[in-house]
Amino acid sequence: MNDVYVVGVGMTPFGKHPDRSAADLAAEAILGALDDAGLRTVDIEAAWVGHVYQGMAMGQRGLGAAGISGLPITNVENACSSGSTAIYEAATALKAGAYDIVLALGVELLSTKFRGALAPDESDIEAQIGLTMPSVYAMRARRHMEQYGTTPRMLAAIASKNKFNASLNPLAQFKKPVTVDEVMAGRLIAEPLHLHECAPVSDGAAAVILVSGKKLSQLGSSRAIRLVASALRSGKLEVGLPDMTVEDLTWRTAEAAYQQAGLGPDDVQMAEVHDCFSIAEATRIEGLKLYPLGEYPARVERGEAGLGGRLPVNMSGGLLGKGHPLGATGVAQVIEIVKQLRGEAKDRQVPGAKVGLAHCRGGKARGVEGTACTVNILTI
């Protein structure tokens, strides 16, 4: 199988763009990635496009707006893991030797589709009767508190860290740092989660250009970053009531990725993880086995996950700070890792990092409808 490299990245600012179309956002991200790679629109041989709510043929419309048409384009959906699934599919095709230069795009325009929070999917009967995402994650937070002595302030520290990182990211939705006290003083959305601990409604697009090792040696890009692992797994049918604080899906996906990469949790030097809520960052990081179960929130409070800490997490600001345009999220996570590994992350730069991991998880919180999880690992 062929090696896979990222040679170009581009994204729009994340935030509210009600005056723009999803295709317009997509085009900006694509043209930015091409510019970054030093490639032209005609160089793209195939594309995978992740989104959830943008209707039929989003990819064809988005690429068309960038002046790219005629090639094989596949739209993919895996809830909040849609963008990272696009990367997984693009990488699979490069490994097959089917193409040498491909595009993975994620895009979502939510602000014109939902007033306030996203409505649950019509197939999601539990959510229809009240078990919405904030309530699910609030229960997980309560359980984490009960089981490990986690405090609301520790969870607030996760949100504060991510909002601070976002304040250093010119493309983030939120530009203002928020202290732990300010998080705690915020409105409760679902106890113990306050407003700043819940991901916002966002619009945006993000694109990466991936090439085969063979093509890379022709292009000779010195800024290429290797995608050493790309794994996708789905939720499992469960019997009985599992421990809500344990992310079996995240671990099964990470295990596959670690194996592909020939690396383990100890090798990971920074991570972008799916912090749709403050508690989610904790259960993801623990699910990835980057910290023992129950330990992460206390470590954040001690500064270990900050930009200068032992293991920086969500350097970009994460979903809480950078924003969460569903389809674009997984691609933007990989972009942050690429920028960090290139040494181009400016005020957010983690010095000397050589291995970074991006984790996404979409769908319902549990069971077979815990839909999809992806783990991408990148190295210099």
Residues of this chain that bind a second copy (CB under 8 A): 1, 52, 54-61, 63-64, 67, 69-79, 85, 88-89, 92-93, 95-98, 121-124, 231-237, 252, 362-364, 367-369, 371-372
The closest alpha carbon to 379, from 355, 361, 358, 357, belongs to 355
Minimum distance, C-beta of residue 255 to a second copy, in the bound complex (Å): 12
Q: Is the dihedral of CA 152, 158, 161, 167 positive or negative?
A: negative
Q: Which amino acid is at 277?
A: F
Q: Which is nearer to a second copy, 23 or 172 (CB)?
A: 23
User: What CA–CA distances, in Å, run from 304 to 59, 120, 364?
Assistant: 39, 35, 30
Cβ closest to a second copy, residue 255 vs residue 295: 255
Helix (H) or strand (E) holding 8: strand 4-11
Write the DSSP string, 334-364. Answer: HHHHHHHHHT--GGGPPTT--EEEEEEEES-
Gap between the Cα atoms of 63 and 104, Å rounded = 11
Residue from 80, 198, 360, 373 carrying the catalytic annotation: 80
Cβ of residue 110: shortest distance to a second copy, in angstroms?
Answer: 14
Beta strands 46-50; 270-272: pairing state: unpaired
Here the tokens at position 305 are: 């996950």
- Which is closer to a second copy, CB of 318 or CB of 363? 363
For residues 69 and 259, which CB has a smaller minimum distance to a second copy in the complex? 69
Least Å distance, CB 169 to a second copy, is 28
Is residue 137 within 8 A of residue 276, CB to CB? The reply is yes
11 within 8 A of 335, measured Cβ to Cβ: yes
Q: Could you give the maximum distance between any two Cα atoms of the chain, in Å?
A: 56
How many whole angstroms separate alpha carbon 108 and alpha carbon 54? 7
* 198 belongs to the catalytic site: no
Minimum separation from the CB atom of position 294 to a second copy (A):
25
Q: Tokens for 190?
A: 């679902």
Q: Considering the complex, what minimum distance in angstroms separates the CB of residue 366 from a second copy?
A: 12
Distance in Å, CB of 329 to a second copy, minimum: 15
Looking at 196, 324, 359, 360, which residue is catalytic?
A: 324
Q: Which residues contact 308 (CB under 8 A, 6 or more apart)?
A: none
The rounded distance, in Å, linking the Cα atoms of 307 and 164 is 10
Cβ nearer to a second copy, comparing 88 with 296: 88
d(CA 137, CA 160): 18
Strand, helix or coil at 170? coil
Name the minimum Å distance from CB 101 to a second copy: 16
Give the number of other CB atoms < 10 A from CB of residue 344. Answer: 12
- Residues marked active site are found at 80, 324
